[in-house]
Chains A and B, each alone.
Chain A
Amino acid sequence: MASQHNSLAEAAGPEVSLPAGKGHFKSDGLQLRLGILLIVLTGIGPSLLGNSYWEHTFQLVNIYIAVAVLQNFLFVDAGQKSFGQGAILGLGAYGLAIASGIHGLPLTVGVLAAVGAAMLGGLLFALPALRVQGFHLGFATLSAAIVFPQLLIQFDDVTRGINGISLYLPALTKPLVLGMSGLTLLVTAVPIAALLLHYGIRNARLGRRMRVAAESAEAARSLGVRPGFMRALAFMIVSAGTGICGALYVPTVGFISPQGFLVELSFTLFFVVVVGGRGQLLGPIIGIWVIYIVPNVLLVQLVEYRLLIYGFLTLAVVIVFPDGLVGTIEVRRRKRFQRGGGEQGFRLAPFTEMLEKIPPRQVPAEAAPILEVRGAVKRFGQVVALDGVDLKVRPGEVHGLIGANGSGKTSLLNVISGFSRMDGGSYSFRGRDVTRLSASSIARMGLGRTFQTPRIFTDLSVWDNIQLGLDARPTPLAPEMAALAERFKEAYGEDNPGLLAHGQRRLLEVIRVVFADPGLVLFDEPAAGLSPAERVEFSRLLRQLSKRLGMAVILVEHDLDLVWDIADRITVLETGSVVASGPPQQLARDPAVQHLFVGGAHA
């Protein structure tokens, strides 16, 4: 195991020190298998044994598990807290019951009605999710959970109010094989499908991008992701799935009424996810066992105290074991089997070496600028951060941006990447005016950036952190790059980014943005916190990016030696204005900026 991990490091340098023992960054695969096993056991076990009480109990439990699995996905992978999933389940149930139970429409229509109704409800959360997140949506979902049962009673001509709707489907409950009915098989299959969906999305491009949007909206936008869209999409996916659960709820219980979908149900589902372990695939299943099965089935005399127990249990969990039951075990496991870090934790050398084998790309001297900023003005209240800045960057050019703290460098980067709007002036990227475009659209046009504090996601492995860049790529990788990516995957697939030193995190972010294949990259103080050796590695890479891949670079950096060495042109900012701009040699003679270098090597 260790040797496999070392292959990359060996290629890069002789000395290797890596933790021995095999490491698995995540236990998702194991949790998935365990989860399926538990669902199958409780789903078909009672039928095989011929125990109809347990059969019935676990049919309902399995439906709740499926709903909680979807909520778990929403909670962590999309980062949105919903207190309204009980209402969405109810919408699905009522969709089927009204269509097929009252109006006698075929079951296929009923299921479609269930999914449609649930998604319509989901839209109520998804639309505000385009603009807001977090507690705002928490209140919106809570509000829906309160209103839903009231509406069922209000519109009793449609829903039969408190009388409820009965719907028995004898064809479904009749034993098919080995005492198992179609219903038993369905309520076993649906939570498994929900679990597979969660696992599948999480390990796909969509899931990774959703996760980034949930954890850092800025990083997401810089990778071309629209966080609001991701949130809305997550709500819609979860609503559709919950609608199917609602459709199954009807034949399972045989009768539905507003009492079945009170706000307490939504709270319970929420607590299940928290107690089981937010974000753990197995979490909702264990959560249901603790929250639902124990008090409802084993300790029936405590039923009255149910909500009180749930409340205290959840409060205790969030204070004592914030990761939940499964999460606490997972954290210990991860610590025990973690690997990565150390001096060889992450290095640029293999990447740079690969680049050096690519033939240089010539940029014609007269090529149109890839970026042109005209008279950029940015104010924060009384403070003028940018006061009419002009800037031109040619393709393949390394453009240094220097100036004292507060001179407007980061403000300029934020304006260029679309994170903040100019108050005056305009700019174009790749020949197109992008002054009014959103950050994510500009990123999708091929503008990448890093941040002063690297955005590394500690719940993703080192390789997954790199892969976020690949996910943002518009075109497939060239063969030699693909081979390199494969090597990175082998080397860092199970590495814990939490073990990386600060400088390594920076370099990791650099590789991520480079893999996204931008035409222009903005580096915001990339060398801060790098060791001297890392600094050398970084400047070597930077040169190759421009020379071999034809990437233009804007480099904001306090290390003037570094800028001086690699920049083709340098722009000097002072209190929001450009005081000088040109090739380094020319700047060295410019009296306007000489004071910057006084005492330095270039005075």
Chain B
Amino acid sequence: MSVNQQVTAGPSTKSSTFRKKSVPYLLIFPAVLFVAGVLAYAVISGILLSFFQYDLNTIGRPFVWFQNYIYLFTNSAFLNSLMRSIIFVALSVIIGLILGLAFAISLYRTTKYGDFFKGLSLIPYLVSGVATAVMFRFMFASDVGLINMILDTFGLEQVLFLADPNWALFVTVLANVWGIVPFTVLILLSGIQAIDSELFEAAIVDGASKLNLLFKILLPLISPMMGIALIWLSFASFNMFDVILPLTGGGPLRATEYLAVYMYNVAFTEFQYSLGSTVMVVILFFNVTLSVIYLKIFKSAE
């Protein structure tokens, strides 16, 4: 390791000051190398690639300006994917945030077995997306699915969750929320734990109602954490891939072909690499925009 350079030489020598000065750079060099070499490279080359035509039916790699973008935004499959993604993200964020808040408040409130529940709540975070998909597919299948068996026991009509476009979207939202809520809970919990109790004292003395306490005091106070939770929920949902591909494969009828799945299909089953990169740029654009908006809202609320 290059860090163990000599530093024992006399403090006045030029080379030793140079060595001393180089210590922090040497320390962070491997990290920068990996992160810039892989992540920054990917982003930059993806953006560049989106201006070229790179696919199986083209010889070479001609520069095509904005042709890929124009193609995407006039292509019904992409626009469908974009719409579906937005619905999927909105539903996931709303359900995820409500569940996360309810769980976080009650976890905070509980004294008995608090650690037990806290530990329990994080378990889905450890389960891989593929495993989540298999379990949810099993629960929502028509023949072996527990949900349909329960409906059947109550004499209700069977629902073909995975064969119906809207139900399939709903199942993907549930599976996605199952996987991303645990982290949300912990983010919000850490926010609530940091609140100064004096504020509550004062409000209770003033006779504030419980709803008032929740909406006027608790929520505003944890708004920075809400911002982080929202960013986490929407990022995780916008880029959800691991759960969707094994759960529905993007079907039925492209109903769950969200942007990441669409990108994968375009690049790896249709071999249109530059078009895939263009979708990546769109995904990144949404991520950056969303986080800027959230941070603005919750900074000002604070």
Whether chains A and B associate is no
